[in-house]
Amino acid sequence: MTTTLLEARKVEKRFGGVQALADVSFSIRRAEIYGLIGPNGAGKTTLFNVLTGIYAADAGGFMFDGAPLDGLGPHQVAARGIARTFQNIRLFANLSVLENVMIGRHVRTRAGVIGAVLRGPRTRAEEAGIERRATELLDYVGIRGRANDRAGSLPYGDQRRLEIARALATEPKLLALDEPAAGMNPAERAALGRLIEAVRRDGVTILLIEHDVRLVMNICDRVLVLDYGERIAEGPPPEVQKDPKVIEAYLGAPHAA
């Protein structure tokens, strides 16, 4: 087992005239919290979408856990061990909180139509396991008390936590979080930071898109900075923060929000 979990090799993605990702390369070590930052429209979410198979890369690709991800669909990427959350929360809003997490277990369980219909001892054991694990995960992210509520009825911060629980249910090696702190108050952000660190301690590598500078500085081991789809800096947060190119991207350039 190598120390590198994910390696991006010259990943490129265009949307018509927009170069969303230009020759982006980087590598993430196991059990690392790796930050991905950049001004609005820098290509961060696009990188997630290409990584998780929602879009195909125009050139380049990813090596994950010793094998390429090229050509895999999103469900296959999930099976390989990458789980994600979405910038614009995508829960199964009308299902219960518990069901959301149970659905996350799909990829690690087996029962098919025949198993479901006959419901033999094996299927029953599997179902019990799914529910048990889902409940544990709700506990883990701190929203177990809302298990039977409609997912869409949760407050914003709890919805973000639920998305993390659902992603963890797939037993990922890499958890990719797209702006998980968006819409949270400072106390919730601090708690989120602790949660992310706990997940890492349990052996899951984290790829984190985040605009909240404090959170990034506090928990990331290394940070990659994108601007107009290009990699402009990488390194430990304090160094990156001092990098003139980064400062310019955020402050000097007119397109920064």
Partner 1 sequence: MHPLFDTKNSPRLVWAGVAVVALTLLVLPFALAQIGTTWVRITNYAILYVLLALGLNIVVGFAGLLDLGYIAFYAVGAYTYALLASPHFGLHLPFWAILPIGALVAAFFGVLLGAPTLKLRGDYLAIVTLGFGEIVRIFLNNLSRPVNLTNGPQGVTGIDPFSLGDFSFARSETFLGLTFSGPIKYYYLLLAVMVGILALNVRLQDSRIGRAWEAVREDETAARAMGINTTHMKLLAFAMGATFGGVAGGMFSAIQGFISPESFILVESILVVSMVVLGGMGNIWGVVLGAVLLSFVPEILRWTVEPMQRALFGHMLVEPEVIRMLIFGFALVLIMLYRPAGLLPSAVRKRELARDDDAA
Ligand X SMILES: Nc1ncnc2c1ncn2[C@@H]1O[C@H](COP(=O)(O)OP(=O)(O)OP(=O)(O)O)[C@@H](O)[C@H]1O
**Cα gap 201→30, rounded to integer Å:** 11
> For ligand X, how many residues bind (rule: CB under 6 A)?
12
Look at residue 21 and give its three-state secondary structure.
strand
By CB under 8 A, is residue 153 in contact with partner 1? yes
User: Taking Cα atoms as reference points, which of 155, 54, 164 lies closest to residue 100?
Assistant: 164
User: How is 135-151 classified by DSSP, letter by letter?
Assistant: HHHHHHHT-GGGTTSBG
Q: Which of the ranges 1-9, 39-47, 187-195, 197-205 carries the binding residues for ligand X, by CB under 6 A?
A: 39-47
Strand ranges (DSSP E) for 16-150? Answer: 18-29, 33-37, 59-64, 67-68, 82-84
Closest distance to partner 1 from the beta carbon of 119 (Å): 6
Nearer to ligand X, 144 or 211 (CB): 211
By CB under 8 A, is residue 146 in contact with partner 1? no
By CB under 5 A, is residue 45 in contact with Mg ion? yes
Nearer to partner 1, 116 or 253 (CB): 116
Write out the binding residues for partner 1, residues 54-113 only, by CB under 8 A.
Answer: 54, 73-75, 78-79, 83-84, 86, 90-96, 99, 102-113
User: Residue from 12, 14, 23, 87 that binds Mg ion (CB under 5 A)?
Assistant: 87
Give the sign of the dihedral formed by CA 98, CA 137, CA 207, CA 184.
Answer: positive
By CB under 8 A, is residue 123 in contact with partner 1? yes
Which partner, ligand X, partner 1, Mg ion, none, binds residue 56 by CB below 5 to 8 Å per kind? none
Which string of b and e fits 151-190 if b means at least 16 CB within 10 Å? Answer: beebeebbbbbbbbbbbbbbebbbbbbbbbbbebeeebbe
By CB under 8 A, is residue 152 in contact with partner 1? yes
The residue behind tokens 């690690």 is: 108
Backbone dihedral region for residue 129 (phi beyond 0: left; psi -120 to 50: alpha; all else: beta):
alpha
Which partner, Mg ion, partner 1, ligand X, none, binds residue 119 by CB below 5 to 8 Å per kind? partner 1
**Cα gap 26→41, rounded to integer Å:** 19
Closest distance to partner 1 from the beta carbon of 250 (Å): 29
Residues contributing to the site for ligand X (CB under 6 A): 15, 18, 20, 38, 40-46, 87
- List contacts with partner 1 (CB under 8 A): 52, 54, 73-75, 78-79, 83-84, 86, 90-96, 99, 102-113, 115-117, 119, 123, 126-127, 130, 150, 152-153, 166-167, 169-170
